[in-house]
Amino acid sequence: MVSQFIHCPYKEHLEVTYRILRYLKSILGKGLLFKRGSSISVEVFTDANWPGSITDRKSTSGYCTYVWGNLVAWRRKKQSVVARSSVDAEYKAMANRVCEILWIKRVLKELKLDVSLPMKLFCETRLQ
């Protein structure tokens, strides 16, 4: 949320940024534990809302990526263009995730980790 105002920040945005930095400083030394599970799988979950912002009518898409059951990537971001429908917003979100899945497959191949199982992309769709 704070990064949306990077080009024209106000005092409130700077205070929130300092609060985030203080929090990150307080948790140094802590980390995430990644375990290699028995199933070698890559799963990506994505969703988008239409329209996400009432000010610019752009949709917001979010995703999380799991490799072997471990959360390795997550993000929420406004889409760069205005979607014409909820299906359009979901399609744009899924297209971006397919690119990420292909990148993950390439990285795993370079690490000599063969993923022969299909990589799965899940998308929440709502019929309205």
Give the chain's domain count: 2
Q: Would the pTM count as exceeding 0.85?
A: no
Angle at 27 between CA 25 and CA 29, to 5 degrees: 105
Does one domain contain both 52 and 74?
A: yes
Does one domain contain both 82 and 108?
A: yes
Q: What is the pLDDT of residues 74-96, one digit of tens each?
A: 877 777 667 667 777 777 778 88
Position 39 in a domain: yes
Does one domain contain both 44 and 20?
A: no
In this predicted structure, the answer to whether residue 21 has a pLDDT above a threshold of 80 is: yes
Position 20 in a domain: yes
Q: What is the pLDDT of residues 52-78, one digit of tens each?
A: 556 666 777 778 888 888 888 887 777
Position 128 in a domain: no
- Name the residue range of residue 70's domain: 33-123
CA neighbor of 125 nearest in space, from 81, 94, 84, 96:
94
